[in-house]
Structure 1
Amino acid sequence: MNTQVKHSSIKTVNPFNNEVVKEFDAMSPEQVAKIIDKADEAFRSWKKVSFEERGKIFHKVASIMRDRKEELGKLATLEMGKLISESIYEVELSADIFDYYASKAGEFLADHKLDVKHGDAFLAYDPIGVILSVQPWNFPYYQITRSAAAHVMAGNTMVLKHASNVPQCAQIMEDIFKEAGLPDGIYTNLFVSGKDIEPLVSNPKIAGVTLTGSKPAGASIAAAAGAQVKKSTLELGGSDPFIVLEDADIDEAVKTAVAGRMWNAGQVCVSPKRVIVPASKYDEFLNKTKEAFAKLKVGDPMDSATNVAPLSTEKAAEDVVAQVQKAAEQGANVVLGGKRIDRAGAFVEPTLITDITPKMDAYFEEIFGPVFMLYKYENIDEAVEIANATEFGLGGTVFAKDTQKAVEVARKIDTGMVFINHVTGIAPELPFGGTKNSGYGREQSPAGIYEFVNAKLIRTTTPDKNY
């Protein structure tokens, strides 16, 4: 009799039509343990490899990604539904980040001399070991890149638990690393379910954990890491404000806000989820937003004419509609949309909501879909109060012709990032991360590479000197 335990499968489901494309067997605990053992063994040699040699491999990763951007883009669109143009852009952005750390890691992690009264002192930056990376589906390549480019270039090794609905994107990235010449064990994908992640944190060979995901997932992983006295970094979503000042170009502000909110079908942690405009401009802004919505085309994400893609899964679509319905029940005005589209796939109508008050759940929570929430304010203090009235603090935007005034307002917003006249953006050289319940730690930029290294102090002095 066959007593072998059958483990659950990891599936690719095309959200455009909800068809199952491919299935992968989930790994057993024994398989995962062996992968972590191998990553720990590989760390002992990888940490001794020069930055120059590591950089050659990661430049090759970037080159392969650019050469195969169409293929990679189509795979991301197939698995999680985003527009093909957005998928290809994501591949190009990821390649830029790999190039950035391949070129800069040695400079960032060079010994840092300290100014001391006697003798010499400096900081030496050492990698710490195997990093467990837990990443979401909304940017399947970029999320991998944000953690792997910095931390593996620093000399760590990594095991990745990607979202269960993007298994092919997860696998192809491991394949690209190998094609570029990365030795076995340095970076390995784990096909496991979310419920199996927390126990991995207690594995003594896991040195740190980085997670992008929901607040509950982040809280459980952070607690598990804390119990083991292990470093963690978290990015847990956002409900970004988009404050429009009195002098703003309304046409440009509407265009930017609508495009930003519909980006990735609204499934972006840093999209402008709450648009806050002065009362004197409110009617004009509302009418022009309606006009912009009328031009949106929902449809096949592989079609270049489509503006709004399906959501990532059927459940995601159901959850967004439920949030909109609850806002309506609590008294909000659903001006446009708010329903499922009568067709196959995880589609939700682009939705415009107004008259949201602090008595409604939508005033505080994040809606992860194509839902544009419009607020009005009488003065800047009220605008800032609305902007900060959420548990999240990831990104934000201030839109104005007077950039000095915009910066003054930006300083009052409780987030990790604020962009002037632009939705919260992404670039290799810019730190990414938040505050409050949006998490802690930073990715990208010089800051990102220091999260999982030991800044070791080395102090020299002569025996006859006191200090």
Structure 2
Amino acid sequence: MSTLLINQPQYAWLKELGLREENDGVYNGSWGGRGEVITTYCPANNEPIARVRQASMADYEETVEKAREAWSIWADIPAPKRGEIVRQIGDALREKIQVLGSLVSLEMGKILVEGVGEVQEYVDVCDYAVGLSRMIGGPILPSERPGHALIEQWNPVGLVGIITAFNFPVAVYGWNNAIAMICGNACLWKGAPTTSLISVAVTKIIAKVLEDNKLPGAICSLTCGGADVGTAMAKDERVDLLSFTGSTQVGKQVALMVQERFGRSLLELGGNNAIIAFEDADLSLVVPSALFAAVGTAGQRCTTARRLFLHESIHDEVVNRLKKAYAQIRVGNPWDSNVLYGPLHTKQAVSMFLGAVEEAKKEGGTVVYGGKVMDRPGNYVEPTIVTGLEHDASIVHTETFAPILYVFKFKNEDEVFAWNNEVKQGLSSSIFTKDMGRIFRWLGPKGSDCGIVNVNIPTSGAEIGGAFGGEKHTGGGRESGSDAWKQYMRRSTCTINYSKDLPLAQGIKFQ
């Protein structure tokens, strides 16, 4: 009998998603794949789940051509009708939400409630995009010239390339895909190789909706692959916008390749996020918020809290409460409904965790909780709290994708606001206080320099209605809500003369 999990009776539900032992990893209206065959593994036990045939360069070329052909059909469909297709995609995801959420738990490693929640986030973005499909557009502006109309016209960019990371293998694609689609774009997706089964399963759901509506499947194309496919997308002038989610290091390389051809990029990169608790903070909010932000998804969110600044008057009490809370975290298989904490995604992540803990000790830190690998199958490490480091220690300024929380004492507002902003990334941040003046200073020009600036809530767990993204080395991109749709469109300022005269702007006479 095969050792693949997909062939074991308890994982028979995987076949409800159309998955099998070996899966095609390319979709452009039809399924295929002539590249390397890879195996994906379950982080909870490091057992193989199933195999995926990735894209060859020939597959990539063919898929880009088909996606661009499909765009010419999709762009002609009125935006509200495009919204209707996205509504159907949302409904199709709803029907599979439990089984798809279970796959996220199995292949990525996050707990089941987070896996289901991630699919729900895609559904929510679909709902949001449906309404948006009747609202996108520009203003009619007053013209200074008689008999002239001045309008702003928005059109799709064309083909949107979407490269997603392992930690949110459904939701980040959903943010991009649903909004890009209602804007009139075709999409080309490359997910993380380690979550290829999720990419295939999601694409199968979308493909059926497109097929049922007699639309080209290549509107939502898929090319599973590694760095070769990602590099091709970054360098390809036929990819009008490239949305990249991943590390700052790789994101910088992507940005340079895209800029070399004067293309557009949308970057969602790293975060070194801080929670600040002042002396007037409600500790019944601080402790669970820090716990969720630091330990949720085993510390593998881009919005994970990695730094906790505590006013010196509450430092010891909060650390003691956190240690007690950490001791009660329920660890286990991520698909068990009562578990709160699962494994890291890969063995390499475990090595990085251990390296960071050792470096923290070398730089003067004290591990007051955790710090070790758990004695069980899979990639489990202890959620970890480190105290005693300097706020600007090298390891503190290094984003480690693991559940390590560095805790510091501070004396005053000016000091701690500066510490929040001194790291290179600028994604998420939060303060806990009841002082209204302090809250508005935090939100203002001399407060947090992040793209997400919270008060009395964790750094993670953003809603879809606001724009998601960050500043500085986080990349500056914005996805999901608010006016993030504008990143997927190009703007034209149009002046229409409906008079019989030809007045020039600024009163210029050219006679």
Distance 1:416 1:427, change over 3 A: same
Distance 1:10 1:403, change over 3 A: farther
The number of residue pairs the alignment matches comes to 462
SS at the partner of 1:308?
coil
Q: Is the 8 A contact 1:80 1:313 kept in 2?
A: no
**Alpha-carbon distance between aligned partners in 1 of 2:285 and 2:391, rounded to the nearest angstrom:** 29
Which segment is superposed worse, 259-268 or 360-369? Answer: 360-369
SS at the partner of 1:155?
coil
Q: Is the 8 A contact 2:237 2:263 kept in 1?
A: no
Q: Write the deviation string for residues 128-156 of structure 1: whole angstroms up to 9, x where unpaired.
A: 21111111011111011111111121011
SS at the partner of 1:363?
coil
> Which position in structure 2 is the counterpart of 1:307?
340
Aligned CA RMSD, in angstroms, stands at 1.6
**Alpha-carbon distance between aligned partners in 2 of 1:272 and 1:251, rounded to the nearest angstrom:** 17
Match of residue 401, structure 1, among 412, 434, 438: 434
Instruction: Tell whether 2:182 aligns with 1:136.
Output: no
Instruction: Tell whether 2:355 aligns with 1:322.
Output: yes
Q: Is the 8 A contact 2:311 2:412 kept in 1?
A: yes
> Which position in structure 1 is the counterpart of 2:54?
26
Distance 1:346 1:99, change over 3 A: same
Match of residue 296, structure 1, among 323, 329, 332: 329
**Alpha-carbon distance between aligned partners in 2 of 1:258 and 1:328, rounded to the nearest angstrom:** 22
Q: Write the deviation string for residues 269-304 of structure 1: whole angstroms up to 9, x where unpaired.
A: 112211111001111111111111111122111122
Q: Is the 8 A contact 1:267 1:368 kept in 2?
A: yes
CA positional deviation for 1:51: 1.5
Matches within 5 A, 1:166-181: 166-181=195-210
Match of residue 458, structure 2, among 423, 433, 450: 423
Gaps of 5+ in 2: 1-32, 506-511
**Alpha-carbon distance between aligned partners in 1 of 2:70 and 2:217, rounded to the nearest angstrom:** 7
Matches within 5 A, 1:235-384: 235-358=268-391, 360-384=393-417
Gaps of 5+ in 1: none
Match of residue 105, structure 1, among 110, 128, 133: 133
**Alpha-carbon distance between aligned partners in 1 of 2:422 and 2:91, rounded to the nearest angstrom:** 43
> Which position in structure 2 is the counterpart of 1:439?
475
**Alpha-carbon distance between aligned partners in 2 of 1:423 and 1:447, rounded to the nearest angstrom:** 24
> Which position in structure 2 is the counterpart of 1:203?
236
CA positional deviation for 1:404: 4.3
CA positional deviation for 1:403: 4.2
**Alpha-carbon distance between aligned partners in 2 of 1:350 and 1:418, rounded to the nearest angstrom:** 25
**Alpha-carbon distance between aligned partners in 2 of 1:176 and 1:26, rounded to the nearest angstrom:** 19
Q: Write the deviation string for residues 321-348 of structure 1: whole angstroms up to 9, x where unpaired.
A: 2111111122111111111111110111
CA positional deviation for 1:448: 1.5
CA positional deviation for 1:400: 1.5
**Alpha-carbon distance between aligned partners in 1 of 2:387 and 2:218, rounded to the nearest angstrom:** 52
**Alpha-carbon distance between aligned partners in 2 of 1:352 and 1:11, rounded to the nearest angstrom:** 34
Q: Is the 8 A contact 1:407 1:420 kept in 2?
A: no
SS at the partner of 1:356?
coil
SS at the partner of 2:479?
coil
Q: Is the 8 A contact 2:190 2:224 kept in 1?
A: yes
**Alpha-carbon distance between aligned partners in 1 of 2:220 and 2:307, rounded to the nearest angstrom:** 38
Q: Is the 8 A contact 1:272 1:397 kept in 2?
A: no
CA positional deviation for 1:107: 0.4
The percent of aligned pairs where both chains have the same amino acid is 27
> Which position in structure 2 is the counterpart of 1:145?
174
**Alpha-carbon distance between aligned partners in 2 of 1:429 and 1:117, rounded to the nearest angstrom:** 36
CA positional deviation for 1:6: 8.0
Match of residue 141, structure 2, among 111, 114, 130: 114
CA positional deviation for 1:190: 0.7
> Which position in structure 1 is the counterpart of 2:262?
229
**Alpha-carbon distance between aligned partners in 2 of 1:403 and 1:264, rounded to the nearest angstrom:** 32
> Which position in structure 1 is the counterpart of 2:3?
none
